[in-house]
Each structure stands twice: as structure tokens, then as C-alpha cells.
């Protein structure tokens, strides 16, 4: 047993004050990732600051027609929220493709954003890992790397980001609102997660003394033409090999607006403006979708064991865009798995 302190934060300011006072401290929300990391001796926080009872549990409409989601809204509550089901079903579908019902009941929106990679070497303290111990090396590069990145990797780390929800959030241009010792600031989800570069131990642009307070979705939810497709080894309780979030706006059979994001392929949820540009103004057909997939995957660099992911991603992109165009999403109604 490795001793650690525990304190409960009374409000957001108190949480920030406590984390700023002790650099080795960590926030704990649902604990579904952090406690596993502590049990495996990957993380050793000197103190846990419990934020689970802070009043960050509201889902409410914003003045500009968007949605504001508290960082402590449980993943289940968010997926089933009437405003999500009606206006942002892409987000609900992505959340429900992740983990299990029990985990989704505990997991928080903020914790989901900050969950760490599922690279097996990261969890195995007997092996070198630059993310766990900077400078020690990357065991995956010459090891078993079937589940690893095909885009945006570095010589220091080839891990993938594990969240499903974040793939939908980046597709919909969500913003993360945070508070630190210098007050509040907003970070676009696209800028929130990092590529590994030579600092793979830093996952996000959140500072260690900042707390995520809420996430904002803009007004446009693409509720008519969307789909989230997750390809994985088992149908439930498994992380994505490849996942695709697709959203289209159609006018007279042509694509007037589009969003395309991938999970399971990079150190961050992957969105590529040039692939979306290849869809813009085009007919919503298989030829257009295949071209966009080619554009998105042109810089793919597979590892020893995961060349299959490139073709898998290509097919998943075409299929997900086809589902979105037809208005027949992969998970047409969330209610059947309630």
C-alpha cells in the first residue's frame, strides 16, 4: 500500500486552491481510470482531491442555442439526456459505444476527456514507457503494436487516445471550459489533446493546476444525418481499433456541410480539414466518400502489426458517411440498449 492523502473540495475555487498548493495532487471524479492507474502503480498521487460532489452536474441550453455540460455529469446521464438524444445524438451514440453500463454510470464527462491511453506497456511497470517514465524508451515500437497509432505518432510514442466521446466532441467543434489560479479559460477540443512529439507524458494542454468545469457544444448538432461507428475486437467493453464520427448537412443531394473525425488511430481524436474539404459541395455517394478517406489516410504510417488499420479505417469512413447520408446511423436509436 502506498500512502496518499485525501481531501474533498467544497467548491471550484477550493479545488483549484488545493491542487495549486500541492503539485503531486490529482483530482478524482468517478475514479474509473485513476484508481486502476494507482492500483497498477502507474500513478502515485500524493493526495486525491475529491471533486465528485461539486455542483457541476447540469446540462443546460446556452444563450446562443448551444449546450453547456457540467464536468461531473455522468456519462450515462449525458447519453440519455433528452437534449442530447434530440439535438446531439452523435455524442450519445459515441458515449454508449464505450465501456459498460456500470462504468458509464460512474464515469464523468471531465474524466472521460482526461482518461489515459490503453497501451498495455503504459500499464506494465516492468517495461520501458516514455509516457509513464520520460526518457525510458517506447516498448510498443518494437513490441506488440496492433492497437497503436497510424497517424501523428512520434519516435517517442505511438499510443492512441482511448475516448469515444471525444471523437464526437471534436467533430462537433466542442469547447472545454476550465478554471485555474488565473481564472477561467476556454480550449477548443481540437486543441485540448496533444500529439506525442517528444513529450508523450503530457496528454493535454490542460495545466496541472486547472480543473475542467464544463463542456460547450455549439448550436449545430447534425441530428438528421450522423453516425458513429466503432470497430473493435468485441462488441462491448472494448476500446476502438478504429472509430468514425460522421455528420453531414445535405442540400439537393449535395454535401453543404460536413464533419469527419476518427478515434483509435492517433494520440488524439483525429480530424482532418482537407478530408472535410474533399466532401464539401460534392454528391453524397460512395465515390466522394472513398476520395475523402484517401485524403485523410494519405499520411498514414502503420506500425509492424497494424497495417490492417489503414484499410479498416478506409472502409469504416465510407460506411459511416454512407450511414450518415442515408439517415440510418449505426446506432439508430439509443433506446434499444437502454
Which residues here bind ligand SF4, judged by CB under 6 A? 117, 119, 121-122, 129-131, 138-140, 157-159, 200
H or E element that contains 15: helix 12-21
The partner in contact with residue 169, picked from ligand SF4, ligand FAD, none with C-beta cut-offs of 5 to 8 angstroms by kind, is none
CB of 106 to ligand FAD, least distance (A): 6
**226 three-state secondary structure:** strand
Complex with ligand FAD: residue 112 or 227, whichever CB lies closer: 112
Q: How far is CA 61 from the centre of its chain?
A: 22
List residues binding ligand FAD (CB under 6 A). 26-34, 36, 51, 71, 75, 98-99, 103, 106-108, 110-112, 114-115, 162-165, 211-212, 237, 239
CB of 250 to ligand FAD, least distance (A): 29
Longest Cα pair distance anywhere in the chain, in angstroms?
A: 64
CA distance 112 to 122: 18
Complex with ligand SF4: residue 121 or 226, whichever CB lies closer: 121
CB of 199 to ligand SF4, least distance (A): 11
Cα–Cα distance list, 21 to 18, 26, 53, 137 (Å): 5, 11, 20, 32
Count CB neighbours of 133 within 10 A.
14
**200 three-state secondary structure:** coil
CB of 112 to ligand FAD, least distance (A): 3
Complex with ligand FAD: residue 160 or 288, whichever CB lies closer: 160
Residue 115 DSSP code: P
- Contact criterion met (CB below 8 Å) for 309 and 150: yes
Complex with ligand SF4: residue 83 or 144, whichever CB lies closer: 144
Q: Looking at the DSSP assignment, which residues form a beta bridge with residue 214? A: 70, 177
Q: How far is CA 60 from the centre of its chain?
A: 21
The partner in contact with residue 157, picked from ligand FAD, ligand SF4, none with C-beta cut-offs of 5 to 8 angstroms by kind, is ligand SF4
The partner in contact with residue 131, picked from ligand FAD, ligand SF4, none with C-beta cut-offs of 5 to 8 angstroms by kind, is ligand SF4
CB of 213 to ligand FAD, least distance (A): 7
Amino acid at each position: 500500500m502506498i500512502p496518499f492523502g485525501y481531501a474533498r473540495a467544497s467548491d471550484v475555487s477550493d479545488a483549484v486552491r488545493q491542487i495549486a498548493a500541492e503539485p503531486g495532487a490529482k483530482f478524482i471524479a468517478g475514479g474509473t481510470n485513476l484508481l486502476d492507474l494507482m492500483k497498477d502503480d502507474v500513478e502515485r498521487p500524493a493526495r486525491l482531491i475529491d471533486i465528485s460532489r461539486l455542483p457541476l452536474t447540469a446540462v443546460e441550453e446556452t444563450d446562443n442555442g448551444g449546450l453547456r455540460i457540467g464536468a461531473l455529469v455522468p456519462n450515462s446521464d449525458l447519453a440519455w439526456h433528452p437534449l442530447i438524444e434530440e439535438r446531439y445524438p452523435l455524442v450519445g451514440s459515441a458515449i454508449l459505444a464505450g465501456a459498460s453500463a456500470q462504468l458509464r454510470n460512474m464515469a464523468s464527462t471531465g474524466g472521460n476527456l482526461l482518461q489515459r491511453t490503453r497501451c498495455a506497456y503504459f500499464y506494465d511497470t516492468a517495461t520501458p514507457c516514455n509516457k509513464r517514465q520520460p526518457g525510458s524508451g517506447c516498448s510498443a515500437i518494437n513490441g506488440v503494436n496492433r492497437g497503436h497509432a497510424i497517424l501523428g505518432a512520434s519516435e517517442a510514442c505511438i499510443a492512441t487516445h482511448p475516448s469515444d466521446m471525444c471523437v464526437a466532441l471534436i467533430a462537433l467543434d466542442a469547447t472545454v471550459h476550465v478554471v485555474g489560479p488565473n481564472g477561467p479559460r476556454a480550449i477548443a477540443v481540437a486543441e485540448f489533446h496533444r500529439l506525442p512529439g517528444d513529450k508523450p507524458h503530457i496528454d493535454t494542454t490542460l495545466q496541472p493546476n486547472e480543473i475542467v468545469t464544463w463542456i460547450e457544444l455549439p448550436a449545430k448538432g447534425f441530428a438528421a444525418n450522423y453516425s458513429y461507428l466503432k470497430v473493435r475486437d468485441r462488441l462491448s467493453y472494448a476500446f476502438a481499433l478504429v472509430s468514425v464520427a460522421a455528420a453531414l448537412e445535405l442540400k439537393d443531394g449535395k454535401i453543404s456541410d460536413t464533419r469527419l473525425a476518427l478515434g483509435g488511430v492517433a494520440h488524439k481524436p483525429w480530424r482532418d480539414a482537407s478530408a472535410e474539404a474533399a466532401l464539401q459541395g460534392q454528391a453524397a455517394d460512395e465515390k466522394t466518400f472513398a476520395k475523402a478517406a484517401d485524403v485523410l489516410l494519405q499520411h498514414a504510417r502503420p506500425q509492424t502489426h497494424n497495417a490492417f488499420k489503414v484499410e479498416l479505417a478506409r472502409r469504416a469512413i465510407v460506411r459511416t458517411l454512407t450511414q450518415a447520408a442515408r439517415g440510418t446511423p449505426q446506432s439508430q436509436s439509443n433506446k434499444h440498449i437502454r
